[in-house]
Amino acid sequence: MSFDAFPFWVFLLAAWGGCLLVRHNAARKALLIAASYFLYATFRPANVFLLLAITAGSYAIGQAIQKGRRPGLLAAGVCAAVGGLAAAKQWLTPLPVGISFYMLQAIAWMVDSYRGNVVAPSGLFDYTLYLSFFPKLTAGPIARAEEFLPQLARRPPVDSAALWEALTRIVVGLFKKLAIADNLGVVVDPVFADLHASPSRILLATYGFAVQIYCDFSGYTDIALGTARLFGYRLPENFNWPYLARNPADFWRRWHISLSTWLRDYVYFSLPGLRAKSKIPSYVNLSITMVVCGLWHGFGWTFALWGLYHGLLLVAYHARRRGEAGSILLMQQLAVIGWILFRLNRISDLPVYLASLTRGPFFAGFTPEEWLAVALMAAVGLIHVLIHVAEPYVPVMKNVVEHRWNPWLLTGLLALAMATAILSLPQKQAFLYFRF
């Protein structure tokens, strides 16, 4: 029952209506827990027991640590969580949906319990909702306990402003997914399945994937944040126009923000040598952190090399940094090069990919689907140009959402976006980050 499936919206309306009718906060939270576990069971019922085990185990360890700083118990808990996640990625097929995301939240809870950063929940009840809350359960964003648990203390109000924000985020997210990402996937997937194509098709698939993964994942995040707002809760932002980044550090401040900040706080800052006078230990730690980022996405040389590639970009940037200025266009090309490694099915496909870029006639014609992909990519590029020009003067999205410029016009635009998404719907494709 994915966000882009009709049964999900029936489920969402039922859950939302039930929460509106339930007045008591504890009963409302119980309803949300039941709804979250029901939704998770629709993917694979057995995974419910895995989520229950991780919830109970990590909560018990966190509670024990809060009662007294016990580094041995923390180390055992983190090792068990990391080992369990690694085993799942290596041997479980299909991978339990969402495990990579809620496992990181469980690790953060245990570490923050040791550091004294977490606000203790009222009990296992609140913690269970924190890990299982369905808008973020399957693909994030990765919420921190200190951000989410305080929101559960009282029944949150849902006013017209919250509903407008929710509607806007959901519709924009659906448009990104259905109208852009899925149409690009129709072109991208066949090329990467068989790399013996003309150079023009290889390049179209390469740049198409860069736009596809952004619209797919940021579209999911928009829907998740909008759905959470329907119930009165806020989840952390996960994207901030990453293809307008000027350098590698800026890119990771804008792309998958909840993961990059998690890696910074729980991997990078946990590695030794950061206080050394030499910068070399920090560069090594940067590389290690980004390799961990790659392996979090999947065990394989393509992901490990993708992570190492971004680690080396960050090292080069910090080693030669002269202020924060940089080239947006150059950073876009560097990001696209990284996506090649990320998208290849196996590392042995890289020589085939490179050979196809230099073999045969450059342009052998495009299909109608490929021309549509070109148009969609051009539209996304134009939007980025407009945002880049306008954003220094007007924080566009923030004002649209919070101040509701001309609501009737915006409502019409949202309806048009949804109609376009539905009419252009290609073969249904799962959200890309369900794989990780």
Per residue in 367-409, pLDDT (tens digit) is 988 999 999 999 999 888 887 776 665 454 455 545 444 555 5
Task: Please list the alpha-helical segments (H only) found in 298-432.
Answer: 301-320, 328-343, 349-356, 368-390, 396-403, 407-423
User: Do residue 27 and residue 85 come from a single domain?
Assistant: yes
* In-domain check, residue 314: no
* In-domain check, residue 430: yes
Say which amino acid occupies 345: N
User: Do residue 82 and residue 228 come from a single domain?
Assistant: no
Residue ranges in the chain modelled with pLDDT below 50: 394, 396-397, 401, 403-405
Q: What pLDDT is attached to residue 322?
A: 60
User: Do residue 208 and residue 105 come from a single domain?
Assistant: no
User: Do residue 135 and residue 13 come from a single domain?
Assistant: yes
161: enclosing H helix or E strand: helix 160-174
CA 78-84-86 angle, to 5 degrees, is: 100
* In-domain check, residue 146: yes
Q: What pLDDT is attached to residue 128?
A: 96
- On whether the CB atoms of residues 431 and 185 are closer than 8 A, the answer is no
User: Do residue 94 and residue 167 come from a single domain?
Assistant: no
User: Do residue 24 and residue 146 come from a single domain?
Assistant: yes
Out of 152, 181, 211, pick the residue that ends a domain: 152
User: Do residue 148 and residue 173 come from a single domain?
Assistant: no
Show the tokens assigned to 378.
């051009």
CA distances from 173 to 130, 227, 408, 417 (A): 23, 11, 20, 10
Out of 94, 117, 152, pick the residue that ends a domain: 152
User: Do residue 137 and residue 181 come from a single domain?
Assistant: no
Q: How far out from the chain centre does Cα 338 lie?
A: 17
Q: What pLDDT is attached to residue 52?
A: 96
Out of 102, 120, 152, pick the residue that ends a domain: 152
Tell which phi-psi region holds residue 260, choosing left (phi > 0), alpha (psi between -120 and 50) or beta: alpha
Angle between helices 182-193 and 368-390 (to 10 degrees): 120
* In-domain check, residue 349: no
User: Do residue 188 and residue 221 come from a single domain?
Assistant: yes
User: Do residue 202 and residue 220 come from a single domain?
Assistant: yes
User: Do residue 235 and residue 366 come from a single domain?
Assistant: yes
Q: What pLDDT is attached to residue 396?
A: 47
Q: Which of the residues are catalytic?
A: 297
Structural domain harbouring 35: 6-152
- Other beta carbons within 10 Å of 352: 14
Q: What pLDDT is attached to residue 235?
A: 95
**Predicted model pTM:** 0.90
* In-domain check, residue 250: no
* In-domain check, residue 267: no
* In-domain check, residue 330: no
Q: What pLDDT is attached to residue 299?
A: 87
* In-domain check, residue 275: no
Q: What pLDDT is attached to residue 407?
A: 56
User: Do residue 18 and residue 144 come from a single domain?
Assistant: yes
Q: What is the DSSP letter of 154?
A: S
- Other beta carbons within 10 Å of 355: 12
